[in-house]
Structure 1
Amino acid sequence: MIFPMDAASQCSNAPVASTSSTANWMNELEQYTTPGVSPASARISTSLEIAARPPFRPWHYYKYGWALASKAAQVSKDVASHAIWGPRKKTWGLEMTIISSFMRDVAAHSSLVDISSIRLLMSLSGLAPLPSDALVTPVTFRIRRRRLRGILADLDSKENGSRELSGEWVVGKKTWRRLQAEWKAAQVIKKGTNKQLNSRIRKKSDRVVYYIHGGAYIVGSPASQRQISVPLALHTDARVFAIDYRLAPESTFPGPLHDVVSGYMRLVEDLHVPPENIIVSGDSAGGGLSLALLMYLRDNGYPLPSSAILMSPWVDLTMSCESWVSNAPYDVIPLCSPTDPNNPIASYLGPHLEKYLMHPYASPLFGNFAGLPPLLIQAGDAEVLRDEITLLAHKASAAGVEVQHELYEDCVHVFQQFPFLEPTERSFIAMGEFVLNKLPQLQSRSPRLEPKAEQYMETEIDSKDAFVLDANGLAIPMGQVGARSRLENDDSTDEEGSSAGTANLANSSRPRLNKRSHSSYTISEDWHKEASQPPTPSVRRNASHADVSALVDNWRSGPKNKTVLYRHSSPLQSFGSR
């Protein structure tokens, strides 16, 4: 992921926007959808052109050697500094020091690779040990015409049912055992032989998490983000559906949004999952797409999901906030020049960059948040997106949205993808608490999946294409001997006393994520959460929009939301200090 250096009411029970409010929101979008009309505070002109990639010559091979040598020297220097003087952030272990050092300034060598090469390198993350105790089922489906309204009407009209999208279902081991028990019980109920079981299973509520991966709109896939989707499924006790939307530059805005909306409509219309049972979740660019999805549904009168979980959402493509500079020495996001051939903003917005730069579906920070469902927003205080995420929480709260904003000390962009960090587990625990405890209090009724939805999802999830992620992080095809028993049998990773039998159907509870002990930090009880204001957001004087500046000034008069800061009261013991 390479980024350019300069470049009112709660919605429980899937409300549908009123005709008058929908008209008002559509009027606000008019300045972004009328050709030739630029947003009032736009600063990037149509004259901005991405530099052409120079042709490769054999003597350019030395540049690769120089890049590797310089990066190795920088990492070695930072490791030595970590060992002698301690980490650059007090809670960092050696792993985080190495990762931050490697990613810092890596964009200086971006001319050596194209987006295809970056995707290839990112795909190597699939060789790393996978999270355990889950069932993964790849699926492919055709995109049909759905008479979508608004900005997607033209793209929708061109669909003829031949284009395909893919995704995958992710189900935690304990959730799978519960579902197996419920599905078997449903067969008993269908025969009418157990009325008591019928009463119990009808009281069970269940949720589906619609996960949208990040990757700066140019890289990433559901498979590459299982470090997030699997723990998300485990801690929320929900079925996770991860969509594999089209990437830029092959598909520019609003193409990826069209795919995300199509995936949501498939859950609601084809699989008959009630919108109030769906939780939208996304990280980074996926977080921005999650908000764009919510705004599109609201603006065009479609039913909204119950809530959204946003991890380090990218909500301001103008990059106006100062944290893009102040946190650059620590974060894992490499920064490149605006004219870099790999510029993700130019790749995503394509030839309509000026027209769409501040469109609320591309930069949600500039949108109207009134009428959106409850939001759980998590960010690291060492990431470059910190300030715009702070403003997002403030603006959404001011619009009447129920917001839970969490800031994690010393954490970088999408820190949830690093399983060796203690805050990673704590953030997933917070997601589980939000879904299982807080969300039911915000909804006027408990959601329940109808038998038809259960039947469709059972058929799709329990298929021959599924595979099991076992305790060793290995992917075992479901058809392989012993695979199903690995998934169904109880083991030490589950909570004591659990059972897959129908007799214990009502006793199912959220599983806990496997804890790992690492050499570079010590699990400590000193981590605690406290109500606290995040650092005051500020703007970059050389690259700021008037809209963002006004929002910063408004924040200074008093944040509209409360922020929970996860802080460590004393430095963690690091590898270098032993």
Structure 2
Amino acid sequence: MSAEERAAARGMMQKGELGRTPEQQRADFDDLFANRPLGEDVTLVERTLGGVPALDVRVAGADQAGVILYLHGGAYVIGSARTGANLAAPLSRRSGVPAVSLEYRLAPEHPFPAGVHDALAAYRELVESGQKVVIAGDSAGGGLALATLLAARSEGLPQPAGVVLFSPWTDATMTGPSMDARGDFDPLFTRAHIAESAELYLGGADPKNELASPVLADLKGLPPLLVQVGSAEVLLDDSLRLVARAAEQEVDVSLDVVAGAPHVYQYFAGMLPEADEALDHAATFIRNRLEGFGGGVA
């Protein structure tokens, strides 16, 4: 796709107003994403996982062994299992692997580390029931996926088969150079937007805590990672630094960067060929990781 077409995609997005309440942000986000069609082959079924509400994302024909645990984005303040299903469903359809989208608790009502506790509880139930798991997440859900790996390691739980991260937010300290350098290029966020969300999420906690900023953590022993990000993101360096750090610490890691693509560009599947290619790559990664997975390393 041409640079002009990618620019047109960015033009479909706009930066939100600062200072809106979480309730206002949630209502706006739900208006855009909570009722997007998932396809006639998709059925959503309410369940709990580790005591946490979730949605089974049942795609007809998705009967491969294993499960995708999907963690939705939304800056830890907005979003839901239903909005997460918008990406969990195509991943399940393309990989043939069933998915479940988690309704983890949100800030500021439930600040850090409540979401981590919920994701860990859900993951624990899956692995203790004998499931082979791939964790996937976008934006804050990507950071939460990494935090779940670190928390699982601390608890002595096995690691999943792999992890898929779409534009992950991995650094609550906001020290990546792109936080400022990409502010004009990013159609959704500036440093001020990220700072506002970080304050709500952390609730006074130390942003350097590895579960809040997993890019700062010891990553040794983590499973293979697939990271996808667009260059038109203030969070670009959250991905680039994560990948470099993982490679330095002997973690298998793959990186896809699409020039000029916005935050979580996978949402443009069907409009941007790069979005469809990204989901296809992620689905292949999921399928291959599960097929070759014999069990995690505690």
Same fold (TM over 0.5): yes
Compute the displacement of 1:336 (Å).
Answer: 6.1
Q: Which residue of 1 aligns with 2:204?
A: 351
Structure 2 distance, partners of 1:283, 1:412, is 13
Q: Given that residues 125 and 224 in structure 1 are in contact (C-alpha distance below 8 angstroms), is that contact kept between their aligned partners in structure 2?
A: no
- What are the residue-to-residue correspondences of 1:64-79 with 2, within 5 Å? none
Q: In the alignment, is residue 411 of structure 1 matched against residue 261 of structure 2?
A: yes
- What are the residue-to-residue correspondences of 1:5-84 with 2, within 5 Å? none
Q: Given that residues 137 and 145 in structure 2 are in contact (C-alpha distance below 8 angstroms), is that contact kept between their aligned partners in structure 1?
A: yes
Q: In the alignment, is residue 386 of structure 1 matched against residue 236 of structure 2?
A: yes
Q: Which residue of 1 aligns with 2:121?
A: 262
Structure 1 distance, partners of 2:266, 2:213, is 23
- What are the residue-to-residue correspondences of 1:89-238 with 2, within 5 Å? 89-92=3-6, 94-99=8-13, 102-103=14-15, 106-107=16-17, 110-111=18-19, 113-126=20-33, 129-141=36-48, 165-175=52-62, 179=63, 206-238=65-97
Structure 2 distance, partners of 1:407, 1:142, is 33
Compute the displacement of 1:433 (Å).
Answer: 1.8
Between 220-229 and 397-406, the greater mean CA deviation after superposition: 220-229
Compute the displacement of 1:299 (Å).
Answer: 2.1
Compute the displacement of 1:213 (Å).
Answer: 0.5
Compute the displacement of 1:307 (Å).
Answer: 0.8
The superposition leaves residues 495-522 of structure 1 with CA deviations (integer Å, 9 ceiling, x where unpaired) of: xxxxxxxxxxxxxxxxxxxxxxxxxxxx
Structure 2 distance, partners of 1:438, 1:243, is 21
Q: 1:95 to 1:404 in 2, by over 3 A?
A: closer
Compute the displacement of 1:279 (Å).
Answer: 0.2
Compute the displacement of 1:349 (Å).
Answer: 1.0
Q: In the alignment, is residue 326 of structure 1 matched against residue 181 of structure 2?
A: yes
Compute the displacement of 1:439 (Å).
Answer: 5.7
Structure 1 distance, partners of 2:231, 2:184, is 13
Compute the displacement of 1:431 (Å).
Answer: 1.0
Q: Given that residues 94 and 280 in structure 2 are in contact (C-alpha distance below 8 angstroms), is that contact kept between their aligned partners in structure 1?
A: yes
Q: Given that residues 134 and 170 in structure 1 are in contact (C-alpha distance below 8 angstroms), is that contact kept between their aligned partners in structure 2?
A: no
Q: Which residue of 2 aligns with 1:464?
A: none
Structure 2 distance, partners of 1:140, 1:169, is 7
The superposition leaves residues 40-74 of structure 1 with CA deviations (integer Å, 9 ceiling, x where unpaired) of: xxxxxxxxxxxxxxxxxxxxxxxxxxxxxxxxxxx
Structure 1 distance, partners of 2:41, 2:201, is 33
Task: Count residues with an aligned counterpart.
Answer: 294
Percent sequence identity over aligned pairs: 28
Q: In the alignment, is residue 306 of structure 1 matched against residue 161 of structure 2?
A: yes
Q: In the alignment, is residue 290 of structure 1 matched against residue 204 of structure 2?
A: no
Q: Which residue of 2 aligns with 1:427?
A: 278
Q: Given that residues 440 and 446 in structure 1 are in contact (C-alpha distance below 8 angstroms), is that contact kept between their aligned partners in structure 2?
A: no
- 1:116 maps to a residue whose letter is E
Q: Which residue of 2 aligns with 1:245?
A: 104
The superposition leaves residues 377-413 of structure 1 with CA deviations (integer Å, 9 ceiling, x where unpaired) of: 1111111111221111011111111111111121111
Q: In the alignment, is residue 402 of structure 1 matched against residue 252 of structure 2?
A: yes
Q: 1:95 to 1:265 in 2, by over 3 A?
A: same
Structure 2 distance, partners of 1:337, 1:398, is 31
Give the alignment partner of residue 273 of structure 1, picking from 113, 130, 133: 130
Structure 2 distance, partners of 1:167, 1:439, is 22
Compute the displacement of 1:214 (Å).
Answer: 0.8
Q: 1:334 to 1:386 in 2, by over 3 A?
A: closer
The superposition leaves residues 296-336 of structure 1 with CA deviations (integer Å, 9 ceiling, x where unpaired) of: 11122111111111111111111112212222222233336
Q: Which residue of 2 aligns with 1:497?
A: none
Q: Given that residues 212 and 289 in structure 1 are in contact (C-alpha distance below 8 angstroms), is that contact kept between their aligned partners in structure 2?
A: yes
Q: 1:332 to 1:227 in 2, by over 3 A?
A: farther
Q: Given that residues 137 and 165 in structure 2 are in contact (C-alpha distance below 8 angstroms), is that contact kept between their aligned partners in structure 1?
A: yes
Find the residue that maps to 2:126 and give its secondary structure. helix
Name stretches of at least 5 consecutive residues in structure 1 with no aligned partner.
1-86, 144-163, 180-204, 448-578
Name stretches of at least 5 consecutive residues in structure 2 with no aligned partner.
none
Structure 1 distance, partners of 2:222, 2:186, is 30
- 1:97 maps to a residue whose letter is G
Structure 1 distance, partners of 2:290, 2:251, is 13
Structure 2 distance, partners of 1:118, 1:295, is 29
Q: 1:297 to 1:329 in 2, by over 3 A?
A: same
Find the residue that maps to 2:52 and give its secondary structure. strand
The superposition leaves residues 255-282 of structure 1 with CA deviations (integer Å, 9 ceiling, x where unpaired) of: 111111111122233xx233xx100111
- 2:42 maps to a residue whose letter is L
Q: In the alignment, is residue 371 of structure 1 matched against residue 278 of structure 2?
A: no
The superposition leaves residues 118-151 of structure 1 with CA deviations (integer Å, 9 ceiling, x where unpaired) of: 10111112465413143333324385xxxxxxxx
Structure 2 distance, partners of 1:439, 1:268, is 13
Find the residue that maps to 2:204 and give its secondary structure. helix
Q: Given that residues 90 and 410 in structure 1 are in contact (C-alpha distance below 8 angstroms), is that contact kept between their aligned partners in structure 2?
A: no
Structure 2 distance, partners of 1:395, 1:363, is 13
TM-score by length of 1: 0.48
